[in-house]
């Protein structure tokens, strides 16, 4: 290895150590920055040391879950795998993941690298990483203030893919935007898609993107929509149509299981824990001391010849599992333990956690764009019990400074959600309040989230949903964990 | 009483929560006991402007605007007559650009409706941030979010307001939007109306007066929450320290 690279790795590690010593945050991006300052080629050097394959996951929704599935499956096959931490999906964060995983001599011992890449960052990351395959979950409306328009996001991804012609693409062919890459790029590709209608009306919403043919500009015809612009489409004018996918999930069934009481006992919650977790990933998961949600209704489906009884309770996660399956098949990666791994996989990550505070069941959910939020509303509606709801909307750069997307979410359904109270919080709590007001749904607002949670768990319905967007996630998770510890799970039997 | 709102090409122009503007029109009519009907005109459908009291032209991506352009030709003269006959129009972002003579993007020339004597030219750096205007039409400031690659040159037209914080029409002129007859055209979304009920009521009153006579007056609504949301943005950007902090963050 070049001296320059060695020095870069050393300094990055030193930076990371300093950050931890000084207790200045998690230190996931600065070490990467330092390494890149010293050796601009560091990422190419590092990815060259991966023994078998490098997989990149991109797309608006489902990146983290899909990447985590890939990681766990490969891990279960006895492979050493490098993964970047949630949110650390820009250039510096990715470099950090690599350099901090090296041994004392700066050597990397990894069979696979599973790397989640932000769409904007992809233009700089992909040419250096030269992945064996790039998995694209979907392209939809997200943080428009950062990306400008969905077409800009598409063009970023296209530019990134054009820079790595050897990389195999794993594409969602139900998404006309993703599938357009096959026309604009020469890369080899495989497709995945779902031909059964599995999303409910509430998830579907009216959010539409790109329902016009990308070849001829005429309006596309849809047999049905999954959600957003995803669905079974064809162009009546030029004949472009959604192809028969190379990989698909079939026989999709949502199983009803006996519904646990609103105040579940601690024992029922442990089942969903992930089996395998490296130190790094464990750190990521342990951020949520809350136990994973045990779903009331879970999906089973068939992938190829495998019948899988998953713990997925949103149809999204079928897509995520299918895309990971397609990528692994395309790479001819070992998959003997795929079924076993998926069946014990906790789709919640730290994005959906359940806490018991003052004897009340408290669920924390992340919703950072209209499609994600729509799914959460659908989830809230599936719970018939009385509930309290807190919605926190912030507008930091990470969240997206433009919060107009709130008006693309069908909040009117919350009127029938059996919600005793709805409280808004966050820097844009009044915007959220207005959104509800214009659906004739009454709510109040708070600047003290902790106090509100304490009050609602003590005096409310004992069934609290807290929905936050990105920047509030860690702080809220931390606060709920603390409250859970203080009240010692309260009166939970 | 009843107002009919025509939402033009929601299948192509539907960016940035435009639904919120429609929702705001409807609810503020409904809360006053006035009937509201929304007619979405999908691209290609025939539009009878004589049946409309308010026209909403929303935002779209550059690619979608190009597609809209071809449908525009069919309605050009009808739309113009509607405007000259004091028809009420709210045009936001892409819709604003389309009211002008042309929008020159990096690749193409998009012909506009030529209703306003303005034109737009694309520049690579997008103007993206929160924005606050002071408008002589209203006592309260107008707040919103802007996100546009186009720079709009408004010639002798009257702007909607003076930029207090943000970038506006060209990023340099210090002004934002256009007011002409009963048109309000602006880059502000967020969406525009819910946090600026004064603008919504202004348009509603104009439409009602046009239809039912000059003595119509809108009754006041309790707008406490609207004011809070509006005040929050104004307060934030009146704080010099905050503005400095945000500027530093933006460039690092």
Residues of B whose CB is below 8 A from A219: 11, 43-44
pLDDT in the model for residue A315: 85
Site of tokens 């506009």: B112
Would you call B93 a catalytic residue per the annotation? Answer: yes
CATH number of B2-250: 3.40.50.880
Cβ distance of B14 and A208 shorter than 8 Å:
yes
Global confidence as pTM: 0.75
Cβ distance of B19 and A408 shorter than 8 Å:
yes
Q: Which of B16, B107, B110 to mutate to test the interface with A (most CBs of A within 10 A)?
A: B16
Q: Which residue does chain B place closest to A401, by CA atoms?
A: B129
CA distance B90 to A410: 23
Residues of A whose CB is below 8 A from B14: 208
**Torsion sign, CA atoms A102, A108, A109, A110:** positive
Query: CB burial class (10 A; 0-12, 13-18, 19+) of residue A338?
Result: buried
pLDDT in the model for residue A253: 92
From the list B27, B126, B190, which residue is nearest A438 (CB)?
B27
Whose CA is closest to A148, among B51, B15, B36?
Answer: B15
Point out which residues pair with A225 in neighbouring strands. A231
Class of the domain covering A3-343: alpha beta
Q: Are A248 and A266 in contact (CB under 8 A)?
A: no
* Domain definitions of chain A by residue range: 3-343, 352-486
pLDDT in the model for residue B175: 98
pLDDT in the model for residue A470: 84
Whose CA is closest to B184, among B41, B54, B48?
Answer: B54
Query: CB burial class (10 A; 0-12, 13-18, 19+) of residue B156?
Result: exposed
**CATH superfamily entry for domain A352-486:** Mur ligase, C-terminal domain (3.90.190.20)
pLDDT in the model for residue A210: 58
- All residue ranges of chain B with pLDDT < 50 are none
pLDDT in the model for residue A298: 84
pLDDT in the model for residue A271: 30
CA distance A222 to A200: 16
pLDDT in the model for residue B62: 77
Q: Which of B12, B194, B195, B242 to mutate to test the interface with A (most CBs of A within 10 A)?
A: B194
Q: Are B69 and B111 in contact (CB under 8 A)?
A: yes
pLDDT in the model for residue A352: 61
Task: Tell me the two tokens of residue A435.
Answer: 């959104």
pLDDT in the model for residue A26: 64
* Least Cα separation, residue B245 to chain A (angstroms): 12
* Domain definitions of chain B by residue range: 2-250
* Least Cα separation, residue B153 to chain A (angstroms): 21
Site of tokens 């300052």: A37
pLDDT in tens, chain A (493 residues): 789 999 999 999 999 888 888 866 666 788 999 999 999 999 999 999 999 999 999 998 889 899 999 999 999 999 999 998 766 888 999 999 999 999 998 899 999 999 999 988 999 999 999 999 999 999 887 655 555 677 888 999 999 999 999 999 999 999 999 999 999 999 999 999 999 988 877 666 555 555 788 888 888 888 888 887 889 999 999 989 999 999 999 999 988 654 333 333 333 333 333 322 333 333 333 333 333 333 467 899 999 999 999 988 788 899 999 999 999 999 999 999 999 999 999 886 445 688 999 999 999 998 888 888 888 898 888 888 999 999 999 998 878 899 999 998 889 999 999 999 999 999 999 999 999 999 999 999 999 999 999 999 999 999 999 999 988 888 899 999 999 998 874 444 3
Interface residue B228 vs chain A (CB under 8 A): yes
The complex scores an ipTM of 0.96
The DSSP letter of residue A2 is -
């Amino acid at each position: 290895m070049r001296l320059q690279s060695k020095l870069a790795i050393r300094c990055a590690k030193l930076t990371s150590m300093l950050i931890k010593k000084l207790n200045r945050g998690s230190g996931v991006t600065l070490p990467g920055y330092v390494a890149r300052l010293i050796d601009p080629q560091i990422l190419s050097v590092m990815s060259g040391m991966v023994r078998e394959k490098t997989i990149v996951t991109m797309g608006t929704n489902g990146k983290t879950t899909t990447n985590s599935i890939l990681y766990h499956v490969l891990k279960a096959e006895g492979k050493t795998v490098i993964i970047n931490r949630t949110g650390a999906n820009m250039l510096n964060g990715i470099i950090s993941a690599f350099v901090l995983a090296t041994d004392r001599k700066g050597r990397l011992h990894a069979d696979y690298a599973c790397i989640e890449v932000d769409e904007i960052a992809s233009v700089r990351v992909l040419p250096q990483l030269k992945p064996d395959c790039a998995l694209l979950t979907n392209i939809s409306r997200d943080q428009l203030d950062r990306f400008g328009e969905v077409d800009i996001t598409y063009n970023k991804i296209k530019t990134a893919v054009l820079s790595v012609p050897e990389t195999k693409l794993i594409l969602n062919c139900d998404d006309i935007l993703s599938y357009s890459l096959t026309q604009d790029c020469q890369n080899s590709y495989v497709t995945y898609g779902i031909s059964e209608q599995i999303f409910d009306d509430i998830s579907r919403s009216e959010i539409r993107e790109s329902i016009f043919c990308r070849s001829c500009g005429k309006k596309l015809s849809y047999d049905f929509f999954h959600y957003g612009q995803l669905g079974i489409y064809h162009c009546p004018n030029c004949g472009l149509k959604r192809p028969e996918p190379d990989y698909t999930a079939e026989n999709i069934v949502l199983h009803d299981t006996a519904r646990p009481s609103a105040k579940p006992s601690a024992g029922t919650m442990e089942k969903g824990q992930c089996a395998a977790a490296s130190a790094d990933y464990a750190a990521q998961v342990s951020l949520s001391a809350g136990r994973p949600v045990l779903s009331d209704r879970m999906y089973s489906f068939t992938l190829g010849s495998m019948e899988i009884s998953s713990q997925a309770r949103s149809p999204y996660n079928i897509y995520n599992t299918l895309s990971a399956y397609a990528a692994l098949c395309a790479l001819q990666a070992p998959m003997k333990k795929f079924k076993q791994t998926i069946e014990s996989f906790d789709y919640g990550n730290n994005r959906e956690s359940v806490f018991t505070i003052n004897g009340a069941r408290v669920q924390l959910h992340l919703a950072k764009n209209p499609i994600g939020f729509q799914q959460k509303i659908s989830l809230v509606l599936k719970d018939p019990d009385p509930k309290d709801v807190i919605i926190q909307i912030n507008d930091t750069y990470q969240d997206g400074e433009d919060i107009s997307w709130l008006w693309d979410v069908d909040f009117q359904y919350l009127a029938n959600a059996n919600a005793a109270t709805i409280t808004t919080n966050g820097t844009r709590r009044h915007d959220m309040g207005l959104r509800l007001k214009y659906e004739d749904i009454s709510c109040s607002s708070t600047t003290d989230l902790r106090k509100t949670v304490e009050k609602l768990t003590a005096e409310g319905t004992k069934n609290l949903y807290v929905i936050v967007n990105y920047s509030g996630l860690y702080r809220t998770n931390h606060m709920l964990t603390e409250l859970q510890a203080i009240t010692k799970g309260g009166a939970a039997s | 009483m009843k107002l009919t709102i025509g939402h033009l090409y929601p299948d192509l122009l539907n960016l940035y929560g435009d639904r919120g503007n429609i929702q705001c029109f409807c609810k503020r009519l409904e809360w006053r006991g006035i009937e509201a009907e929304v007619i979405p005109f999908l691209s290609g459908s025939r539009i009878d402007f004589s049946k409309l009291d308010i026209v909403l032209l929303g935002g779209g991506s550059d690619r979608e605007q190009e597609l809209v352009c071809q449908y525009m030709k069919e309605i050009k003269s009808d739309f113009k007559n509607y405007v000259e006959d004091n028809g009420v129009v709210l045009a936001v972002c892409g819709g604003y650009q389309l009211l002008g003579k042309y929008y020159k993007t990096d690749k193409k020339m998009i012909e506009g409706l030529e209703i306003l004597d303005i034109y737009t030219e694309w520049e690579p750096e997008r103007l993206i941030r929160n924005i606050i205007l002071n408008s002589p039409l209203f006592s309260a400031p107008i707040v919103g979010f802007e996100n546009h690659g186009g720079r709009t040159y408004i010639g002798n037209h009257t702007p909607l307001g003076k930029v207090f914080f943000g970038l506006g029409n060209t990023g340099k002129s210090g002004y934002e939007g256009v007011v002409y007859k009963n048109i309000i055209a602006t880059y502000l979304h967020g969406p525009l109306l819910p946090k600026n009920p004064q603008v919504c009521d202004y348009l509603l009153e104009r439409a009602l007066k046009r239809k039912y006579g000059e003595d119509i007056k809108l009754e006041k609504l309790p707008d406490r929450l609207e004011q809070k949301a509006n005040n929050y943005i104004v307060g934030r950007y009146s704080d010099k320290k905050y503005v400095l902090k945000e500027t530093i963050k933006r460039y690092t």
